[in-house]
Amino acid sequence: MLAIVAIVLMVSLGSSSAQAATSDPTPAATASATAACATDAATGCLQGTIKLPSGDPAVGIKLAIKGGNLDTTISTGADGKWSQAITVAGPYTITVDTTSIPDGAVLDSAAKNPATVTGALNKNTGFVFKIVGGTTAADGTTTQTPDTDTGTGITFDRFAQQFASGIRLGLLLALAAVGLSLIFGTTGLSNFAHGEQVTLGGLLAYLFANVLGLNLILAAIISVVICAATGYFQDALIWKPLRRRGIGTTQLMIVTIGLSIALQYTYQYFLGASTVRIDQANPVTVDLGPVTLSQQSLISMGIAVIVIALVGWVLVRTRIGRATRAVSDNPALAAASGIDVDRIIRLVWTSATALAGLSGVLLGLVLNGVNWQTGLQLLLLMFAAITLGGLGTAFGALAGAMIIGLVVELTNLVLPGDFKYATALVILILVLLVRPQGIFGRRERIG
């Protein structure tokens, strides 16, 4: 499994460095210079985080830093962070390259640019550049959108927009969460490495579409197939032998944590902290009444709906789907009634990783990029979704994912972006208080 990933990424690394020399580096594709800066007696750090008006990190904002013995340009990383190690204390001038700010946003007129900060050794010195909604005219003058649009006021338009984003997140989350839920249902395993499967899908799509230059659809299909293969071989090489050894689910869960750590750092090994874009073209947006979504978003949502419907149909209507649900219900009984449980579990692993991979590809397109922690950030939401829906029930996972998606995005209406994940998790805890078995779960029996 690791080996497959390593080989695939090795190819990606080799060719991406070649590509970087030739193609015009887009902001997101530029590797950020933010290798975490650590302070010690001889080193200090200048650092900060830049966020878009939406609350998402502003990726690839260029900053020129002058002062001491430095004259350098760095850019913000996938998390919107920038940092620069300094070895000389004193004043530094930081200038934001306003052309690197994405369309639709400008530097707050109140912000100083360039700004002067006083750096010290053995200390982090922070500075915040605030970006707000607005437009930049051809002559460079900026018009700042009045605060009502970027503030926290609830208007119908904002509600509609966030609602649409919520549905979008919910659908993509559902794709990934259904697999996690099926794995849990059939094997009792909470797979902490499922997030990395999502990341893998996105990174593979980047590799094929961008680095190797394949057609996007073809690249997506190949990525999903490879992801499915990782699931198949994971079960064949790791999980089935471990089940045979009779290793308990808690132990297996910690094995998945180990796998998750190993995969995360494998991705970082090849990509560093950079965010890569699957589709380099600027997204084309579509207006639907008050809602504006990119074309990729709409297509992704369509694909997600179709695939989810297909999964539902298979689970309900086909023999294999019924067998899967039977194994989820009671593996011993299913085995006793002649179902080949190992075969079903193999199938579940294969399709779960395929779905996660697809989710990763679509997320990469919708969010404008993938990095090593794309899936990691999603994992908690997936867990929240399947817990909310009732552990181990596939349809519960769907419903849970939609709820979580909506909650996360609608939170933006009333709270700053920092809190959007937090709200989803608070809701999870509250639901557990009232209905511990989740929305669709059954109560446990004892004795």
Partner 1 sequence: MSSDVPTTTSTITEAGAAAKASVAGVDAVPGVSKPDPILTVDHIKRRFGGMTAVDVNHLEVQRGIITALIGPNGAGKTTFFNLITGFDKPSSAPRLIGGPKAGEAAKTTFNGNDVGNTGATKVAKLGMVRTFQLTKALSKLTVIENMRLGARDQPGENLFVSVIKPLWAKREAEITAKAEELLARFKLLEKRDDMAGSLSGGQKKLLEMARALMSDPVMIMLDEPMAGVNPALTQSLLGHIQALRDEGMTVLFVEHDMHMVRHISDWVVVMAEGKVVAEGPSGTVMDDPAVIDAYLGAHHNTDLGDDSLLTDEVAEELAAEVQNEKLTEGETTA
Partner 2 sequence: MDQLLQTLFAILNSAISPQTAALAIAAIGLNIHFGYTGLLNFGQAGFMLIGAYGFAISIIAGLPIIVAIIIALVAALLFALILGIPTLKLRGDYLAIVTLSAAEIVRMIGRSSLLTNFTGGSNGITGNEYRGPFTDLSFFGNGQLDLGPFKYDLTGSNGWWFIATAWVIVGLLCLFVWAIMRSPWGRVLRGIREDEDAVRALGKNVYSYKMQALILGGVIGAIAGIVFILPSSLQPDSMGRSETYFIFTALLLGGAATVFGPVLGAIVFFAIRLFVQGIAGQFIPSSIMNGQQTEQFAWIVIGVMLMLVVIFRPQGILGNKKELSFDVK
Interacting residues with partner 2 (CB under 8 A): 2, 35, 39, 47-49, 51, 81, 122-124, 126, 128, 190, 242, 245-248, 250-251, 253-255, 257-266, 268-269, 272, 376, 380, 383-384, 387, 391, 416, 418-419, 421-422, 425-426, 428-429, 432-433, 436, 444, 446-447
Residue number, 247 or 310, with CB nearest to partner 2: 247
Contacts of 46 (CB under 8 A, 6+ apart): 65, 83, 84, 86, 92, 94, 117, 119, 125, 126, 127
Residue number, 245 or 443, with CB nearest to partner 1: 443
| Length, in residues, of the chain | 447
- CA distance readout (Å), 270 to 10, 11, 224, 357: 7, 10, 20, 19
Tokens representing residue 277 in the block: 């874009």
**What is the Cα–Cα distance from 30 to 277, expressed in whole angstroms?**
10
229 binds, among partner 1, partner 2, none (CB under 5 to 8 A by kind): none
Nearest distance from residue 365's CB to partner 2, in Å? 26
Nearest distance from residue 329's CB to partner 1, in Å? 8
Give one DSSP letter per residue of 249-315, joined into a string.
HHHHHHHHHHHHHHHHHHHHHHHTT--B-S--SPPPEEEETTEEEEHHHHHHHHHHHHHHHHHHHHH
Residue number, 317 or 442, with CB nearest to partner 1: 442
**What is the Cα–Cα distance from 260 to 190, expressed in whole angstroms?**
12
244 binds, among partner 1, partner 2, none (CB under 5 to 8 A by kind): none
Residue number, 246 or 338, with CB nearest to partner 2: 246
391 binds, among partner 1, partner 2, none (CB under 5 to 8 A by kind): partner 2
**What is the Cα–Cα distance from 100 to 395, expressed in whole angstroms?**
43
Binding site for partner 1 (CB under 8 A): 329-330, 332-333, 336, 442, 445-447
Backbone angles phi, psi at 36, to 5 degrees: -45, 130
Nearest distance from residue 446's CB to partner 2, in Å? 6
336 binds, among partner 1, partner 2, none (CB under 5 to 8 A by kind): partner 1
Contacts 24+ apart (CB under 8 A), 137-144: 140/98, 142/98, 142/106, 142/107, 142/109, 143/106, 144/106, 144/108, 144/109
383 binds, among partner 2, partner 1, none (CB under 5 to 8 A by kind): partner 2
Residue number, 289 or 447, with CB nearest to partner 2: 447
Residue 397 burial (10 A CB sphere; 0-12, 13-18, 19+): buried
Q: Which residue has the tokens 């997140």?
A: 169
7 binds, among partner 1, partner 2, none (CB under 5 to 8 A by kind): none
425 binds, among partner 2, partner 1, none (CB under 5 to 8 A by kind): partner 2
SS3 117: strand
Residue number, 331 or 360, with CB nearest to partner 1: 331
Residue number, 242 or 298, with CB nearest to partner 2: 242
Nearest distance from residue 305's CB to partner 2, in Å? 27
Q: Which run of H or E residues covers position 111?
A: none
Residue 263 burial (10 A CB sphere; 0-12, 13-18, 19+): buried
SS3 129: coil
Nearest distance from residue 333's CB to partner 1, in Å? 6
Tokens representing residue 154 in the block: 């609830």
Nearest distance from residue 269's CB to partner 2, in Å? 4
Residue number, 118 or 143, with CB nearest to partner 2: 118
Nearest distance from residue 291's CB to partner 2, in Å? 27
Give which of 110, 164, 133, 107 is closest to 54, Cα–Cα.
133
Give one DSSP letter per residue of 22-47, joined into a string.
HSPPPGGGSPPS------BTTBEEEE
445 binds, among partner 2, partner 1, none (CB under 5 to 8 A by kind): partner 1
**What is the Cα–Cα distance from 210 to 274, expressed in whole angstroms?**
15
Nearest distance from residue 447's CB to partner 1, in Å? 5
**What is the Cα–Cα distance from 73 to 117, expressed in whole angstroms?**
16
48 binds, among partner 2, partner 1, none (CB under 5 to 8 A by kind): partner 2
329 binds, among partner 1, partner 2, none (CB under 5 to 8 A by kind): partner 1
Residue number, 297 or 412, with CB nearest to partner 2: 412
Nearest distance from residue 350's CB to partner 2, in Å? 21
Residue number, 20 or 128, with CB nearest to partner 2: 128
Nearest distance from residue 394's CB to partner 2, in Å? 17
